[in-house]
Amino acid sequence: MLTQILNNLNNFTDTELRTINSAVVDQLKANRNREVCLKRHTLKAGDRVTWNGRNGHTEGTIVRIKRKKAICSVGFGADWDVPLSMLTAA
Q: What is the chain's pLDDT, residue by residue, as a tens digit (90 residues)?
A: 889 988 999 999 999 999 999 999 999 999 999 999 999 999 999 999 999 988 899 999 999 999 999 999 998 888 999 999 999 998
Residue 84 carries which DSSP code?
G
Rounded to the nearest angstrom, the gap between the alpha carbon of residue 68 and the centroid of all alpha carbons in its chain is: 9
pLDDT, position 78: 84
Task: Determine the pLDDT at residue 5.
Answer: 86
Nearest alpha carbon to residue 85 among 48, 46, 38: 38
pTM across the whole model: 0.72
What integer pLDDT is reported at residue 75 of this predicted model? Answer: 84
SS3 assignment, position 50: strand
Domain 2-89 -> CATH class: mainly beta
